[in-house]
Structure 1
Amino acid sequence: MSNFTRSKVTNITNPEDDSIVSNDFSTSLGALILGLVFLLGVPGNLFIVWSILARIRRRSVTTLLILNLACADGFLMALTIVFVIYLAKQTWIFGDPMCKVLFYLCNANMYASIFLITLMSVHRLVAVVFPKKVMVVASRKIVRRVLVCMWVLVMLFALPSLIFRDVREDYDERKKIRLVCAPNHTLPRHVRFQYALETVSGFILPYAVIITSYVLILRRLRQTKFRRKVRSENLILAIVVTFGLFWLPYHVINMIQVAAEWYDDNSPTKHKLDHIWKSSRAVTSALAFISSCANPVLYTFAGKSYIKQNGFAFMARLFEGTSLDSGVNKKSRSGQAENMALSEANSTNNTVSAVKNGT
């Protein structure tokens, strides 16, 4: 008996016997979204990487985090062409190893993106709210160690997507055999474990840290001498809302799928919940991909005021303005940190104004 035949027999009792390519409308829309994401995200993130590596000599903590985020997002964007082909053909043609590895890398990118955005938020919090500690806890050496630990955690958290996925035979609406790269959860608790882990550790907890950080930052900025000039509310709200809009639908579908596994197979509620997540998984996954190409667009609008003066170096000029740890004044550590915190507040104002001018 072949591997695909064994998968097909096993699939009779598999609660996920319908794949994400079982709905024509959802599949077509998902392919369209991913195609646009590929065309925008790959050159956008490559430009960010080039700007940082070729144009910036002294890289701040913020710049290092942006570089890691752009590398992760750019790599993911390069993989989208595979999923466009998968959704367009509605059959998996790349083999079982590629099925496991590609979805593992996508899941790892999800964790990497949100963890890096969270680190940016915490770094900004330390710089603005605790300026005297920024030189100690946010040095580039410490940040590099934190990044190494973060990537190790990312690889570990993404393991379920490597374990619980394979290629198997399925039937389309015309009863024609096709190959699908789909989850292979054989027990309901496997579904609950994987998707609850993704949502809690990859969305709820980091998102709570991000919101808390920016609330504390706003409270601190309103107490500084730049109080009348601070308009950070709009920029911070845009960052938080944009991230939530792209990722919330994906994690809602995760929770719907988890909830469905608590009901009996013959329950009408289970059938309704299964229909919802099966028909929506492709679109919500494609929307989540958009978050990886949104940052270059945001940076472009934020740095629009530099384009005329700096040309293709405008992105580097924008990132240089975010530097918090490249102090050049020969003052005491505490005084230097305080100046950098005020510089961060001023930089935030300039960025907000640039975003408004760009829009």
Structure 2
Amino acid sequence: MDPTSCPEISFTFPLNFLPPVFILVFVFGLIANGCGLASLWRNWRKLGNVNVFILNLGIADILYLLMLPFLIAYYLNDRRWIFGEAFCKVTRFCFNLNLYCSIGFLTCISVYRYLAIVHPMKVMGRITVTHSVIISAIVWTLVCLQSIPDMFFPKNSENKTLQCVDTTMTEHVDAYLQYSFIWTIIGFCIPSLITVACYGHVIVLLCCKDNVDKVLKQRSLKLLIILILLFSICYIPYHVLKNLNLWSRVLSKQGICYKWFNGVYIAQRICRGLVCLNSALNPLVYLHVDEDISAQFRQLCQWTRSVPVPQSEEEAVSSF
């Protein structure tokens, strides 16, 4: 097929769609993660095994949220990157770090919940906070090793100032597609299968036994729903459309064109915005894993509803 017959790609779509999404994620994400991390700090001495993963999950979210203002400026400035090539790669690296650390720590939480519910006697006293810290360090290391190759792919146009793409330039898209496919399997598919296996077993066990505590069953079911929400909205569409869009770019580079190229690009840009929601939705995991944080959020909601009622300064502070 003649390359000139390729459908025109709507590069202006992200300029209108992504900035509002990034602004909302930045505001709500900072508030939610800030409250969660502040609660963990106040309860540091009571820090449990799973809470170590929650702490790292929050740190990964904050790290990416602090990069969002630069991406907002990039898209509001008609995709003109003015912060230099090195910082462009740092910004994209922080996005990948947040995304795959989030998936990694959610997997760790799922495994710990599985062991605590399905094999409580076998793991009682054998898994310590030290183990959780070591596992967290391993997750950060593995994600960094997976993400570092991405920084070697060019993300700027020749003048080094005009663009900051999240994958790479067209000349290197063939190699990037291969890297992205392997990255998807290692960083997303394998952790996802582990999470599904753990919670699938947990839910079957909770539903089949009548003597299981109702509160435990409800909390586990709610957490499962949150994980399904995260994976179905944020993670699965992003990885599918990212690789499909890269494949369409490879085909277009080879002179093979199809009408669905533009639709895939727009869908991939939408998923690029939705995947950022994980930074704002991850705090929902806090509420259903850590009982202290959940209780404090309920107190905060109660305090908000009772604002018109006069109360002393001490009562207001204790409501938080």
**Do the aligned partners of 2:83 and 2:161 also contact (CA within 8 Å) in 1?**
no
Distance 2:107 2:77 in 1: 37
Q: Does 1:196 align with 2:169?
A: no
Q: Does 1:285 align with 2:272?
A: yes
**Equivalent in the alignment of 2:156:** 167
- Going from structure 1 to structure 2, the CA distance change for 1:298 and 1:143 (only over 3 Å counts) comes to closer
2:236 corresponds, among 239, 245, 248, to 248
CA RMSD of aligned residues (A): 3.0
Distance 1:268 1:34 in 2: 32
Deviation at 1:180, TM superposition (A): 0.6
Q: Does 1:186 align with 2:171?
A: yes
- Post-superposition Cα deviations, 1:230-268, rounded to whole Å, max 9, x if no partner, equal 344344123223332112221121221343366472223
1:105 corresponds, among 72, 80, 94, to 94
Q: How does 1:129-144 map to 2 (within 5 A)?
A: 129-135=118-124, 138-144=127-133
1:27 corresponds, among 12, 15, 32, to 15
Unaligned runs of 5+ in 2: 1-7, 289-293, 304-314
Deviation at 1:47, TM superposition (A): 1.8
**Do the aligned partners of 2:226 and 2:285 also contact (CA within 8 Å) in 1?**
no
Distance 2:272 2:251 in 1: 24
The one-letter amino acid paired with 1:207 is S
Tell me how many residue pairs correspond in the alignment: 288
**Do the aligned partners of 2:143 and 2:187 also contact (CA within 8 Å) in 1?**
no
**Equivalent in the alignment of 1:46:** 34
Instruction: Select between 29-38 and 306-315 the one with higher mean Cα deviation.
Output: 306-315
Instruction: Select between 186-195 and 294-303 the one with higher mean Cα deviation.
Output: 294-303
2:197 corresponds, among 194, 212, 232, to 212
The one-letter amino acid paired with 2:162 is L
The one-letter amino acid paired with 1:226 is V
- Post-superposition Cα deviations, 1:141-194, rounded to whole Å, max 9, x if no partner, equal 111111111111111000122111332159xxxxxx971112136345412223
- Post-superposition Cα deviations, 1:259-288, rounded to whole Å, max 9, x if no partner, equal 33664722233x633x34433443322211
- Going from structure 1 to structure 2, the CA distance change for 1:312 and 1:205 (only over 3 Å counts) comes to farther
Distance 1:123 1:185 in 2: 42
**Equivalent in the alignment of 1:221:** 206
Q: Secondary structure at the match of 1:57?
A: helix
- Post-superposition Cα deviations, 1:72-129, rounded to whole Å, max 9, x if no partner, equal 1012111111100001102101011111111112111111110000000000011111
Q: Secondary structure at the match of 1:179?
A: coil
Q: Secondary structure at the match of 1:180?
A: coil
Q: Secondary structure at the match of 1:181?
A: coil
The one-letter amino acid paired with 2:192 is Y
Distance 2:112 2:286 in 1: 19
Q: Secondary structure at the match of 2:163?
A: strand
**Equivalent in the alignment of 1:116:** 105
The one-letter amino acid paired with 1:165 is P
Q: Secondary structure at the match of 2:19?
A: helix
The one-letter amino acid paired with 1:102 is T
- Going from structure 1 to structure 2, the CA distance change for 1:314 and 1:241 (only over 3 Å counts) comes to farther
Same amino acid, percent of matched pairs: 23
Unaligned runs of 5+ in 1: 1-17, 171-176, 316-359
